[in-house]
């Protein structure tokens, strides 16, 4: 992701997806790519119906940023699968980003409500 | 918005394992696809529909993999490696092109770096003394004697007065040649030595490795039996014995105590570098304090070199005035009637080491620079032709979507790869070349020590190579890339191949190469001709079948003149008895090497009653002692009268023609026989002239022959003599026998090399020869480059214009006409280049006239010969493609694209 550039729509989607993956791993613990995709599907139908593959791009990005780690293991149905887990740094950044989002959401809702009144 | 990128090293680990990561990602996506398909199958879909739905849900697997792969790559590094591999492949497919470019670069740049490192160590590197720029050599100039000798060194008395009274110079030291015969601790050996003032090593600012220098009290006879020896002698003769300091060694039959060992890389003037009249041996290994005896002091010998230090801020003018005043005061006191007014000159010490060789070295540097230029022109030509060939390929690639910068970066990679290889070979070449130069080059270079190119110089060479590669490789290509549309590109491609502008650039380059080759070859032709003149000039003595051996008598048993005479008579008799010896004699200073060295005296007429009144008007002559048999052995021809025998009853002398003409200008030689002269002062007895011989020139032929007075050995018996033996056959075969005879007379005498006269003379012209050989080498390389260039360009032109040629033939041109047309097109720039080159050669020769002997700068033989060689070789280079062109089948030619 480029620093300092006004985030384009793709970037925002990327960033949002990264956040969702991170949150998933924080809540559900170590999970493989398929499992993460199912959980995100549950939570956000509209966004990811068509391109589950991008989860893996997101996972690679998060690994490069040091926010998650990976290791090979065996899944529920005895398949070899790569499991991902959140790191301490990931947790810290997740908290920070969550606060960020909530702040933005609060400001946006206040703004929109104010406009309505006028 | 999001956190910054991961630190570099973790990024690197991703890059290094990207292939594995890609593999894993692929597996993950596959299994994801399967699990999705299973889910759809479980929800009731048919397997095919399930798979389709799963795929749609997963999205484009390839895109995801590519995305991940790109995340794990460093873009620019990938591009670079790809360009590099591509360039390597291209060059491997065209090995001749690559080889020629690399070889050309290596030769051009390597030669320059090698020579520049030599120039640096001889001319630029600071001398290994404390504050070397402060040191000057002090010389006395007597205006009336300038035509005979430009300056003279000082006497020891002069030095003492200067030392006592000088206030401007911060230090002063004197040195004069000495000879040390060592006996004990090994074979009898004669080493070059010097007698120096006590502060010699402090003056130079060079601390001794072991022990001490001299104390001022040791400058007195009786207290001066102390010596400092050199590091080399300490190691070779005394096995680096650390207890040598304090021990006594036998020098010249007397005991001397070693008080110090000099440091390994001490640089001292050797040979006649300091002054022509202060001749040291080729190596100086022992130093002893100057301590003249009363007898030596009575004779004012002008043979002491004096070095002074001018501290920063002091004025050389004031110093000169001061010393000159003291000098003239003393001269007035010593010779009141003579009216000598001398001046002084101060020569920076750097000049004494580098002065004579400067012109030669700079010329060699100029020659190698020319070679580099020729190499660059050659490479530019090669690259231009190559780019033109690939113009179509580039046009197509641009049409297919390749970025122009990408193509440019590829050409750049190619050029850089070639330049890099060329640079590496050039570096190896430079190191090896510098070593060769130092080993076989002129003596000045060898004396300054190893001239290995240092790291900055090598890096500079590498940069030059890269810059050359860049310029030659990329600049011609750049022009092709400024086109926009495919049509323009195609047109440009055709233009690049056969257009006027490109052809003209190539012609100009050929002209430049030819001109440079002409200059280099012309210079070497002149030097070669000059050298043959030097070798064949009459020197006044013969060179073939003559052996020379230096001997020096020392020790108490040879203290008397009669003892010395008896020795030489004895040894010569023994040598004459050897089979194969035609005749033998001896002389005090061999003309080939020492024509201007040794004793010299003012010559007075028998009517001169007073030395002082005429001293400046009388000639100064070298005095030589000769045994009987010398003149016949050396082949010096007699012009009038007779030669000296071993049995002269009265004081006699034989003089050289130069002296005869000075003493009695214009008179026939026969009339001079029987006249009397005096040498040195009006108080010595007269001597009668009994013969006049031809002048003798020094081996290197770089000076005028001096006036010489030859005395019979019985009347002028010097200790050191050179035996001259004429042999019937190959002289070298008798060397061992002669050595044995000498040893049988006295086993303790050190014998220097017994050498043939041919070797001796050859050594005196070594510098000249080296320069000639080196320049010739450059010339030949330049010729090769030029001829290959001409051939390449003409062949190339023929290939480009195949359609044109085919058209001409089809329209009725005779094959002879076609051949002539191609030939004249090719030779045109060559002829112009040769003409320009000849002008350049003449200009260079005029400015470096001092290096030419016996020929003018416009020597027709050399210049004509060079022009002929160039025109002939280029003609052949043009003729071959011309013949090919004439033999073209017009139909095939016309069909060529």
pLDDT one-digit tens code per residue, A96-114: 989 988 898 899 888 888 7
Q: How many CB pairs under 8 A join A and B?
A: 75
pLDDT of residue B202: 93
More confident: B445 or B646: B646
Which residue, chain included where needed, has tokens 């040794």?
A: B598
B5-9, B704-708, B751-755, B857-861: least confidently modelled range: B5-9
Share of chain B above pLDDT 90, in %: 28
Report the side by side order of strands in the sheet with A80-86: A31-32, A80-86, A68-74
Q: Evaluate whether A63 touches A70 at the Cβ level (below 8 Å).
A: yes
Say what the pLDDT of residue B3 is: 39
pLDDT, one tens digit per residue, over B276-322 is 888 888 889 999 999 998 888 887 788 899 999 999 888 899 999 99
Q: Say what the pLDDT of residue A15 is.
A: 78
**Contacts of residue B169, Cβ cutoff 8 Å, sequence gap at least 6:** B308, B309, B310, B311, B314, B319
- Does B183 have pLDDT greater than 70? yes
pLDDT tens-digit profile of B162-175?
999 988 999 999 99
Using a CB-CB cut-off of 8 Å, the residues of chain A touching B71 are 57, 60-61, 64
What is the structure's pLDDT at B488? 61
Least confident interval from B203-217, B301-315, B730-744, B876-890:
B876-890
B240, pLDDT greater than 70: yes
Confidence grade of residue B450 (pLDDT, cut at 50, 70, 90): low
Tokens in use for B64? 């995801």
Residue in A closest to B6 by C-alpha? A65
Which residues, 6+ apart, have CB-to-CB distance to B674 below 8 Å?
B688, B689, B690
Backbone angles phi, psi at B318, to 5 degrees: -60, -45
**pLDDT-based confidence at residue B803 (cuts at 50, 70, 90):** confident
Kindly report the nearest CA distance between residue B367 and chain A, in angstroms: 57
Q: Mean per-residue pLDDT for B633-642?
A: 91
Indicate the residue of B3, B57, B68 with minimum beta-carbon distance to A56: B68
CA distance A112 to chain B (A): 23
Q: Which is it for strands B343-348 and B226-229: parallel, antiparallel or unpaired? A: unpaired
Would you say residue A7 has pLDDT above 70?
no
Q: Check pLDDT > 80 for residue B454.
A: no
Helices and strands, number each (H, E), in chain A: 5, 3
Query: Measured between CB atoms, does A64 come within 8 Å of chain B?
Result: yes
| Mean pLDDT, residues B458-473 taken together | 78
CB contact (8 A) between residue A50 and residue B61 = no
Name which of B149, B157, B141, B153 is nearest B300 in CA terms: B157
- Per-residue confidence (pLDDT) for residue A83, from 0 to 100: 94
Query: A60 vs B36: CB contact, 8 Å cut-off?
Result: no
Chain B nearest C-alpha distance from A62 (Å): 10
Using an 8 Å CB-CB cutoff, list chain A residues near B5: 3, 64-65
**Partner residue facing A64 (CB), from B14, B36, B57:** B14
Mean pLDDT within B654-662: 91
CB–CB of A52 and B32 under 8 A?
yes
- Asked if A52's CB is within 8 angstroms of B36's CB, the reply is yes
Contacts of B24 in chain A (CB under 8 A): 82
- Interchain pair A65, B2: CB under 8 A: yes
Threshold 0.90, pTM exceeds: no
Nearest chain B residue to A34, by CA: B32
| pLDDT for res B842 | 92
User: From the list A56, A65, A79, which residue is nearest B29 (CB)?
Assistant: A56
pLDDT given at position B837: 92
Residues facing B602 on adjacent strands:
B620
Distance CA(B338)–CA(B860), nearest Å, equals 51
Interface check B31 vs A, CB under 8 A? yes
Q: For position B193, what pLDDT does the model report?
A: 94
- The reported pLDDT for the residue numbered B475 is 67
d(CA B669, CA B692): 7
Give B-chain residues touching A50 at CB under 8 angstroms: 56-57, 59
CA–CA separation, B728 vs B841, rounded Å?
45
B58–A79 CB contact, under 8 Å: no
Checking phi first, is residue B111 left (phi over 0); if not, alpha (psi -120 to 50) or beta?
alpha
Partner B contacted by A92 (CB < 8 A): no
Q: Which residue of B has its CA nearest to A72?
A: B24
Task: Check whether B335 has a pLDDT greater than 90.
Answer: no
pLDDT of residue B461: 78
- Looking at the predicted structure, is the pLDDT value of residue A11 above 70? no
Check residue B775 and give its pLDDT. Answer: 86
Count of beta carbons in the 10 Å neighbourhood of residue B462: 19
- The verdict on A33 touching B (C-beta cutoff 8 Å) is yes
Cross-chain Cβ contact B58/A52 below 8 Å? yes
pLDDT tens-digit map of B36-47: 999 999 988 898
Beta-carbon contacts of B821 under 8 Å, excluding residues fewer than 6 positions away, are B808
pLDDT band at residue B395 under the 50/70/90 scheme: confident
State the best of A53, A70, A74 to mutate against chain B, taking most chain B CBs within 10 Å.
A53
Q: Do B2 and A60 touch (CB under 8 A)?
A: no
Q: Does A24 touch chain B (CB under 8 A)?
A: no
Alpha-carbon gap: A78 to the closest alpha carbon of chain B (Å): 12
pLDDT-derived band of residue B493, with 50, 70 and 90 as boundaries?
A: low
The token pair that represents B637 in the structure block: 């021809």
Q: What is the CA radius of gyration of chain A?
A: 16
Cβ contacts (< 8 Å) between B72 and chain A: which residues?
A: 60, 64
Is B513:B787 a contact under the CB 8 Å cutoff? no
CA separation for the pair B694, B539 (Å, rounded): 9
* Residue A118 pLDDT exceeds 60: no
In this prediction, residues B728-739 reach a mean pLDDT of: 88
Q: Concatenated DSSP letters for B833-858?
A: HHHHHHHHHHHHHHHTGGG--SS-TT
The b/e string for B402-432 (b: 16+ C-beta within 10 A; e otherwise) is eebeebbbbbbbbbbbbbbbbbebbbebbbe
Q: What is the pLDDT of residue B731?
A: 86
Rounded Cα–Cα distance for residues B110 and B424 (Å):
9
Q: Smallest Cβ distance to B4: which of A3, A7, A79? A: A3
Judging by DSSP bridges, how do beta strands B171-183 and B189-196 pair with one another?
Answer: antiparallel
Residue B716 structure tokens: 């002028």
**Digit-coded pLDDT (tens) for A19-66:** 889 999 999 999 999 999 988 888 776 555 668 888 999 999 999 988
Q: What is the pLDDT of residue B308?
A: 94
Beta strands in B351-507 (DSSP E): none
Nearest to B206 by CA among B307, B303, B320, B279: B307
Q: Is the pLDDT of residue B212 over 50?
A: yes
**Confidence label for B90 from pLDDT (cuts 50, 70 and 90):** confident
- The gap from C-alpha B364 to its chain's centroid, in whole angstroms, comes to 7
- Which residue of A lies nearest to B24 if distances are taken between CA atoms? A82
- Look at residue B204 and tell me whether its pLDDT is greater than 90: yes
pLDDT-above-70 percentage for chain B:
93
Q: Given a cut of 50, is residue A9 above it in pLDDT?
A: yes
- A37 to chain B: which residues are within 8 Å by CB? 32
B554 contacts: CB under 8 Å, gap ≥ 6: B179, B181, B252, B253, B719
User: CA B695, B698, B700, B701 torsion: positive or negative?
Assistant: negative
Mutation pick from A6, A56, A103 vs chain B, by most beta carbons of B within 10 Å, is A56
Judged by a CB distance cut-off of 8 A, whether residue A117 touches chain B is no
- Give just the sign of the alpha carbon dihedral B95, B99, B105, B106: positive
Residue with tokens 């001796």: B760
A109 close to B (CB below 8 A): no
Confidence of residue A1 (pLDDT cuts 50, 70, 90): very low
The pLDDT mean for chain B works out to 85
> Is B1's CB within 8 Å of A49's CB?
no
- How far apart CA B14 and CA B71 sit, in angstroms, is 9
Q: CB of B54 within 8 Å of any CB in chain A?
A: no
| Residue B448 pLDDT class (50, 70, 90 cuts) | low
More confident residue, B797 or B860: B860
Rounded mean pLDDT of B761-765?
A: 84
């Amino acid at each position: 992701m480029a620093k300092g550039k006004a985030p384009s729509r793709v970037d925002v989607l990327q960033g949002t997806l990264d956040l969702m993956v991170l949150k998933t791993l924080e809540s559900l613990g170590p999970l493989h790519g398929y499992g993460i995709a199912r959980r995100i599907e549950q939570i956000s139908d509209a966004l990811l119906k068509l391109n589950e593959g991008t989860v893996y791009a997101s996972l690679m990005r998060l690994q490069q940023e040091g926010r998650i780690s990976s290791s090979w293991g065996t899944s529920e149905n005895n398949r070899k699968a790569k499991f991902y887990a959140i790191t301490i740094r990931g947790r810290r950044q997740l908290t920070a980003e969550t606060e960020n989002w909530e702040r933005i959401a609060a400001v946006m809702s206040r703004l929109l409500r104010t406009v309505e009144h006028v | 918005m999001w956190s910054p990128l991961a630190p570099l090293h973790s990024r690197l680990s991703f890059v290094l394992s990207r292939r594995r990561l890609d593999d894993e990602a692929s597996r993950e996506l596959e299994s994801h696809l399967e699990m999705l398909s299973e889910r759809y199958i479980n929800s009731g879909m048919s397997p095919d529909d399930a798979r389709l739905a799963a795929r749609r849900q997963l999205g484009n697997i390839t895109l995801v993999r590519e995305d991940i792969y790109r995340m794990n790559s460093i873009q620019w590094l990938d591009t670079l490696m790809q360009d590099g591999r591509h360039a390597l492949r291209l060059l491997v497919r065209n090995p001749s092109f690559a080889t020629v470019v690399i070889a050309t670069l290596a030769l051009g740049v390597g030669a320059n770096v090698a020579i520049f490192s030599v120039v640096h160590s001889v001319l630029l590197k600071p001398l290994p003394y404390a504050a070397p720029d402060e040191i000057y050599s002090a010389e006395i100039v007597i205006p009336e004697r300038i035509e005979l000798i430009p300056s003279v060194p000082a006497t020891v008395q002069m030095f003492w007065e200067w030392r006592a009274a000088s206030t401007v110079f911060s230090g002063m030291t004197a040195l004069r040649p000495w000879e040390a015969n060592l006996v004990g601790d090994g074979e009898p050996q004669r080493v070059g030595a010097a007698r120096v003032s006590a502060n010699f090593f402090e003056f130079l600012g060079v601390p001794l490795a072991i022990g001490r220098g001299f104390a001022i009290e040791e400058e007195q006879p009786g207290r001066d039996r102390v010596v400092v020896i050199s590091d080399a002698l300490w190691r070779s003769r005394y096995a680096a014995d650390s207890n040598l300091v304090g021990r006594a060694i036998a020098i010249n039959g007397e005991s001397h105590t070693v008080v110090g060992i000099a440091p390994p890389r001490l640089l001292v003037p050797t040979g006649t570098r300091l002054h022509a009249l202060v001749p040291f041996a080729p190596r100086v290994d022992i130093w002893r304090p100057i301590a003249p005896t009363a007898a030596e002091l009575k004779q004012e010998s002008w043979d002491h070199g004096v070095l002074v230090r001018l501290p920063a801020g002091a004025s050389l003018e004031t110093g000169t005035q001061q010393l000159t005043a003291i000098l003239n005061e003393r001269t007035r006191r010593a010779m009141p009637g003579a009216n000598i007014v001398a001046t002084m000159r101060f020569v920076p010490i750097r000049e004494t080491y580098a002065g004579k060789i400067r012109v030669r070295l700079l010329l060699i540097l100029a020659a190698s620079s020319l070679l580099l230029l020729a190499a660059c022109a050659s490479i530019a030509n090669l690259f231009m032709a190559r780019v033109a060939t690939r113009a179509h390929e580039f046009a197509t690639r641009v049409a297919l979507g390749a970025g122009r910068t990408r193509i440019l970066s590829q050409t750049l990679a190619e050029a850089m790869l070639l330049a890099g290889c060329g640079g590496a070979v050039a570096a190896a070449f430079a190191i090896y070349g510098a070593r060769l130069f130092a080993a076989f080059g002129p003596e000045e270079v060898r004396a300054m020590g190893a001239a290995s190119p240092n790291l900055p110089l090598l890096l500079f060479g590498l940069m030059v190579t890269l810059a050359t590669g860049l310029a030659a490789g990329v600049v011609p290509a750049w022009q092709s890339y400024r086109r926009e549309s495919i049509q323009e590109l195609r047109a440009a491609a055709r233009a690049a191949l056969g257009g006027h502008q490109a052809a003209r650039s190539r012609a100009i380059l050929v002209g430049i190469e030819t001109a440079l080759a002409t200059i280099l070859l012309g210079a070497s032709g002149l030097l070669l001709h000059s050298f043959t003149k030097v070798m064949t000039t009459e020197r006044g003595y013969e060179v073939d079948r003559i052996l020379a051996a230096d001997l020096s008598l020392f020790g108490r048993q040879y203290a008397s003149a009669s003892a010395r005479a008896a020795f030489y008579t004895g040894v010569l008799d023994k040598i004459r008895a050897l089979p194969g010896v035609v005749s033998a004699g001896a002389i005090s200073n061999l003309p080939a090497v020492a024509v201007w060295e040794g004793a010299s005296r003012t010559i007075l007429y028998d009517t001169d009653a007073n030395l002082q009144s005429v001293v400046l008007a009388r000639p100064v002559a070298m005095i030589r002692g000769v045994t009987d048999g010398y003149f016949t052995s050396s082949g010096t021809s007699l012009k009038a009268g007779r030669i000296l025998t071993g049995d002269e009853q009265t004081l006699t002398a034989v003089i050289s023609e130069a002296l005869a003409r000075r003493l009695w200008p214009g008179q026939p030689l026969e009339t001079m026989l029987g006249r009397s002269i005096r040498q040195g002062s009006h108080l010595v007895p007269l001597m009668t002239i009994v013969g006049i011989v031809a002048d003798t020139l020094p081996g290197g032929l770089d000076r005028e022959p001096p006036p010489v007075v030859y005395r019979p050995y019985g009347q002028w018996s010097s200790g050191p003599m050179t035996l001259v033996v004429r042999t019937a056959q190959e002289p070298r075969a008798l060397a061992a026998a002669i050595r044995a005879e000498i040893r049988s007379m006295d086993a303790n005498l050190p014998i220097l090399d017994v050498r043939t006269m041919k070797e001796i003379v050859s050594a005196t012209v070594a510098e000249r020869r080296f320069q000639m050989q080196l320049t010739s080498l450059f010339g030949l390389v330049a010729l090769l480059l030029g001829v290959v260039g001409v051939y390449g360009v003409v062949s190339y032109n023929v290939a480009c214009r195949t359609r044109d040629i085919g058209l001409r033939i089809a329209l009725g041109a005779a094959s002879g006409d076609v051949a002539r047309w191609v030939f004249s097109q090719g030779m045109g720039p060559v002829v112009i280049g040769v003409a320009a080159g000849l002008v350049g050669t003449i200009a260079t020769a005029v400015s470096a006239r001092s290096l030419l002997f016996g020929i003018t700068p416009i020597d027709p033989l050399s210049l004509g010969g060079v022009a002929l060689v160039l025109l002939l070789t280029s003609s052949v280079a043009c003729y071959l493609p011309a013949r090919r062109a004439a033999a073209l089948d017009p139909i095939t030619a016309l069909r060529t694209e």
